[in-house]
Amino acid sequence: MKRVLYVTSEAVPFIKTGGLADVAGSLPKCFDKNEFDVRVILPKYQCMNEEWKNKLNYVTHFYMDLAWRSQYVGVLELEHEGVHFYFIDNEYYFSGAKPYGNIYQDIEKFAFFSKAALSALPLIGFRPDIVHCHDWQTGLVPVHLKDKFHEGEFFRDMKSVITIHNLKFQGVWDVKTVRDFTGLPAYYFTSDKLEAYGDANYLKGGIVYADAITTVSETYAEEIKMPFYGEGLDGLMRARANSLRGIVNGIDYDEYNPETDTLIEHNYNARNFRKEKIKNKRALQRELGLTQNDSTFMVGIVSRLTDQKGFDLIAHMMDEMCQNDIQIVVLGTGDEKYENMFRHFAWKYQGKVSANIFYSNALSHKIYASCDAFLMPSLFEPCGLSQLMSLRYGTLPIVRETGGLKDTVVPYNEYESTGTGFSFANYNAHEMYFTLQYAMSIYYNKKREWNKLIDRAMAADFSWQNSARKYAELYNWLAG
């Protein structure tokens, strides 16, 4: 039996700001319980839902040295869906209205959390073979395992994995302050260890010291070895290429299931979508005040409205797009310029464009179920989950070939009748537009081919079980 501990700053259903929470909360329950004991440790945030906080059971508490201070560490636990979750409690660090705040506070907060998570292990009687860390917030864990903790019998043979969910976020602050927060000796703050471009870098420390590194898609694992995607760490990613692998994220196939989804108007499946899926489109057109028309090509966008997601390409082509027989439904918040752009086009093309500048889980499900296509022209995308959801609902993705989008969407080939969506290679507004037009031409002129694309999209398997199999191989290889 291999024991694995996930160290993470967030996990569903307790606290979530992004895709990291889905991985840390959903993946552990997908392993074979006879082979793996996977547990999760995360902070006990004040801003967690009261309902969860009331279910936590006290385990122990102790005081821990953090450089020159002594800090209280409480440990609580809860079993949820067959997985053991531990929570590190310290009101000084984990109060606040959201899990992350100012970076300088977060730097100290996660220095505390990384050390506390390891320090708690002997007291809770769980000795993992592998400690699986996620993102910069836990980057110090592999460093600690090679430093002071390595001297103790308990920690000696522990292996560590770090998963990079988005290389853009690295946990960077000045060396003097980080030394003060962590108590790590000066030896660690050199350019081959935690120092990068004059500052201390938590994620770099994790990448240097972890026994294995993963990221959330195979293509992203290749891309981050190049300067454009490497965010200043491409040299290090090339140096550690032998220890780096990409494993694509999954989605919860129970939550995202058009056959049982309670948030959509009409349930359907891979057999009856030809008749039933259209009913969702009619309902959404009614709800959002769009022109009622079964045959209009409806395109969905559910996203943070930021440069990373390719909205400058969409802004460039929006007028041209709206000259076609098309409807565009947008859901999300983000940069003011994009929020206002969509509001403007919704005013200019009433009945054609619906701008929903807020976030709603229910509406996102309706968009996945109602639209014909889903547009995602990202500049970079480590994994991306929206395209996986749209595939599941038979809404064909139109994506740029980057990161996880390239790994999960097979471009349509009309000569071989293969593919699950449409894609383009260059970050270019006209290339995106021509790909959209090509998708429309198949939709309007080759309905049978379009439906076969939906058949293949709905048959694709991006469930967490699939990801868990690949992580299991990694754990077996690491722990020997």
87 close to 78: Cβ distance less than 8 angstroms = yes
**Structurally, how many domains does the chain consist of?**
2
Do 471 and 446 reside in the same domain of the chain? no
Do 451 and 389 reside in the same domain of the chain? yes
Do 74 and 199 reside in the same domain of the chain? yes
Do 218 and 280 reside in the same domain of the chain? no
d(CA 331, CA 367): 9
- Flag whether 306 is in a domain: yes
Distance, first Cα to last Cα, the chain: 12
d(CA 233, CA 191): 11
d(CA 46, CA 88): 11
The one-letter amino acid at 392: R
- Flag whether 260 is in a domain: no
Q: Which residues pair with 57 in a beta bridge?
A: 77
- Provide the pLDDT for residue 141: 98
- Flag whether 113 is in a domain: yes
Do 377 and 235 reside in the same domain of the chain? no
Do 456 and 471 reside in the same domain of the chain? no
d(CA 450, CA 412): 10
Burial of 3 (0-12, 13-18, 19+ CB in 10 A): middle
Do 469 and 457 reside in the same domain of the chain? no
Do 190 and 108 reside in the same domain of the chain? yes
- Provide the pLDDT for residue 67: 87
d(CA 244, CA 206): 13
d(CA 399, CA 380): 11
d(CA 352, CA 329): 8
- Flag whether 54 is in a domain: yes
3-state secondary structure the chain: CEEEEEECCCECCCECCCHHHHHHHHCHHHCCCCCEEEEEEEECCCCCCHHHHCCCEEEEEEEEEECCEEEEEEEEEEEECCEEEEEEECHHHHCCCCCCCCHHHHHHHHHHHHHHHHHHHHHHCCCCCEEEEECHHHCHHHHHHHCHHHHCHHHCCCEEEEEECCCCCCCEEEHHHHHHHHCCCHHHCCCCCCEECCEEEHHHHHHHHCCEEEECCHHHHHHCCCHHHHCCCHHHHHHCHHHEEECCCCECCCCCCCCCCCCCCCCCCCCCHHHHHHHHHHHHHHHHCCCCCCCCEEEEEECCECHHHCHHHHHHHHHHHCCCCEEEEEECCECHHHHHHHHHHHHHCCCCEEEECCCCHHHHHHHHHHCCEEEECCCCCCCCCHHHHHHHCCCEEEEECCHHHHHHCCECECCCCECCEEEECCCCHHHHHHHHHHHHHHHHHCHHHHHHHHHHHHHCCCEHHHHHHHHHHHHHHHHC
- Provide the pLDDT for residue 151: 82
Which residues form the domain of 440?
Answer: 273-461
d(CA 29, CA 37): 10
- Provide the pLDDT for residue 152: 77
The order of strands in the sheet holding 297-302 is: 353-356, 326-331, 297-302, 373-376, 396-400, 422-424
- Flag whether 263 is in a domain: no
- Provide the pLDDT for residue 148: 81
Joined together, the tokens standing for residue 396 give: 């064909």
Do 320 and 231 reside in the same domain of the chain? no
- Flag whether 209 is in a domain: yes
198 close to 234: Cβ distance less than 8 angstroms = no
Kindly give the confidence (pLDDT) of every residue in the chain, 480 residues in length, as a single tens digit, with 9 standing for 90 and above.
Answer: 999 999 999 999 999 988 899 999 999 999 999 999 999 999 999 999 999 999 999 999 999 999 889 999 999 999 999 999 999 999 999 998 999 999 999 999 999 999 999 999 999 999 999 999 999 999 999 999 998 888 878 999 999 999 999 999 999 999 999 999 999 999 999 999 999 999 999 999 999 999 999 999 999 999 999 999 999 999 999 999 999 999 999 999 999 999 999 999 999 999 999 999 999 999 999 999 999 999 999 999 999 999 999 999 999 999 999 999 999 999 999 999 999 999 999 999 999 999 999 999 999 999 999 999 999 999 999 999 999 999 999 999 999 999 999 999 999 999 999 999 999 999 999 999 999 999 999 999 999 999 999 999 999 999 999 999 999 999 999 998
d(CA 101, CA 469): 35
Residue that is written with structure tokens 């994620």 in the block: 203
Do 212 and 299 reside in the same domain of the chain? no
- Flag whether 257 is in a domain: no
- Flag whether 290 is in a domain: yes
**What is the CATH number for 365?**
3.40.50.2000
User: What is the β-pairing status of strands 396-400 and 172-174?
Assistant: unpaired
Do 184 and 328 reside in the same domain of the chain? no
Do 108 and 165 reside in the same domain of the chain? yes
Distant-in-sequence, close-in-space partners of 5: CB < 8 Å, separation ≥ 6: 38, 39, 40, 41, 117, 121, 126, 128, 130, 131, 132
d(CA 127, CA 4): 9
